[in-house]
């Protein structure tokens, strides 16, 4: 059931398409958020880190793709090739950035399948911390966690850009060093290539900062 991607290349993310893209042939890749069978037509929301796009399987458009869509379940990883079209009047979704369009699928490739999930990938349900940590890779797909990680990245980039514009340098100090006689006990890391020797985790970057200052940084 799993298919090779072949020479397909993604043209857009799942949160990128707008009205200006109507008429374009696109290739989207992502996880299946949900699937709705409306008789003849099958609607699937495909998701990546940038958002959701609704894709449509019409047996008159492609009987083969429509047949494959019957087998798809939540969190399957798929790639689709199709045409961007406007949604029918009244079916637009103002809650998502791609809510004015949908993609009519011509071809689909199922890249990976998914077993039954321990919880849904959304923010509607309260999930215990133990379950979230056990399935951390699923928890990190939830919209809230994705927003948190993106926000952290944006804040870090703003700080870095500000300091860079002020002439500061971003220098990483060593994680391993020689043991130094201080008050706290060292955390020792044995050396594999030098038996009987060991490193210590630095208790403070103070010495490295002083070396950098003396060196003129």
pLDDT tens for 140-195 read 999 999 999 999 999 999 999 999 999 999 999 988 888 777 667 778 888 888 88
The whole-angstrom distance between residue 123's C-alpha and the CA centroid of its chain comes to 16
Mean pLDDT over the full length of the chain: 92
Element (H, E) at 153: helix 143-165
pLDDT confidence of residue 197: 86
pLDDT tens for 106-152 read 999 999 999 999 998 988 888 999 999 999 999 999 999 999 999 99
Per DSSP, what are the bridge partners of residue 35?
A: 44
The whole-angstrom distance between residue 137's C-alpha and the CA centroid of its chain comes to 10
Phi first, then psi: give them for residue 30, nearest 5 degrees.
Answer: 170, -170
């Amino acid at each position: 059931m799993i298919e090779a991607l072949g020479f397909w290349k993604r043209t857009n993310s799942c949160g990128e398409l707008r009205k200006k893209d109507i008429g374009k042939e696109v290739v989207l890749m992502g996880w299946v958020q949900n699937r709705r069978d409306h008789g003849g037509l099958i609607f699937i929301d495909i998701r990546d880190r940038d958002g959701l796009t609704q894709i449509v399987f019409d047996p008159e458009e492609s009987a083969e793709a429509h047949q494959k869509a019957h087998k798809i379940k939540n969190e399957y990883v798929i790639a689709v090739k199709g045409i961007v079209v406007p949604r029918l009047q009244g079916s637009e979704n103002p809650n998502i950035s791609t809510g004015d369009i949908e993609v009519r699928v011509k071809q689909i490739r199922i890249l990976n399948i998914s077993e039954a999930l321990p919880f849904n990938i959304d923010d509607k349900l309260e999930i215990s911390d133990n379950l979230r940590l056990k399935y951390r890779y699923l928890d990190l797909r939830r919209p809230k966690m994705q927003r948190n990680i993106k926000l952290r990245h944006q804040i870090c980039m703003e700080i870095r850009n500000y300091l860079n514009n002020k002439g500061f340098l971003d220098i990483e100090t060593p994680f391993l060093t020689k043991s130094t006689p201080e008050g706290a006990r060292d955390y020792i890391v044995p050396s594999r290539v030098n038996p009987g020797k060991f490193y210590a985790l630095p208790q403070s970057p103070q010495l490295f900062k002083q070396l950098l200052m003396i060196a003129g940084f």
